[in-house]
Structure 1
Amino acid sequence: MIEPSERSILLARMEVAQAETQRHLGIIERQIAARAERLTVTERAKRRQHGRSASSWTTADERLLQEHVAGLTLARHGEIDALTRKLDRQEKALAEFRSRLRVSAARR
């Protein structure tokens, strides 16, 4: 049987690993969003010239941004899917570990 101190250490390690996976997934999402915005701004600047009084963001620009996000997400779908599956496995393992040890998520 696992000692209480070992249980808490194991639970903490599992939670840290899950948080790291979530953080990595968040980094990828922010990278995609930032890259899509840079691509959109660059394309927009090449397509038209406007003065300072012109609108800075149009619905066409928003559509272009969403197209870039979709394309970049598709390009990295393998990495995103792998991290999502890993996160699901980690969540299930944590839930099972907590239920076996009768530890609630609120007691952390």
Structure 2
Amino acid sequence: MTGPPDRRLALARMEAAHAETQRHVRVVERQIAARAERMTITERAKRRQHGRSASSWTNADERVFQQRLAELALARRGEIDALTRKLDRQETAIAEFRRRNRVSASAAGE
């Protein structure tokens, strides 16, 4: 970038904030998946007499897991949607900043 250092700093801050929001989305997704798995395992153990000795994950377990995953994602839909909109706004702002200051994405990494 051939602009003043404050422009490079501003772009770096914008990109860091975007990366942080992406990490937050991944954390939420991992939390949902982990909770769905725990719920499925708990339900599976209650259904079977020898829950600890049964280590195979059946098709029925997978269906229950997918159902729980969908339910939990729906329950956190507002948070996920807000983060997704924030990511879109950040991407738009970064692209506009680069266009306005004539900076390509490859030059930003310098």
TM-score normalized by structure 1? 0.91
User: Can you give the 5+ residue segments of structure 2 that lack an aligned partner in the other structure?
Assistant: none
Q: Does 1:94 align with 2:94?
A: yes
- Count of equivalent residues: 105
Query: Equivalents in 2 of 1:55, 1:37: separation in Å?
Result: 14
> How far has the Cα of 1:49 moved from its partner?
2.5
1:56 is aligned to 56
Query: Equivalents in 1 of 2:71, 2:49: separation in Å?
Result: 26
Q: For residue 67 of structure 2, what is the amino acid of its counterpart?
A: E
How well do the aligned residues superpose, as a CA RMSD in angstroms? Answer: 1.4
1:66 is aligned to 66
Q: For residue 40 of structure 2, what is the amino acid of its counterpart?
A: T
Identity of aligned residues (%): 70
Query: Equivalents in 1 of 2:26, 2:49: separation in Å?
Result: 35
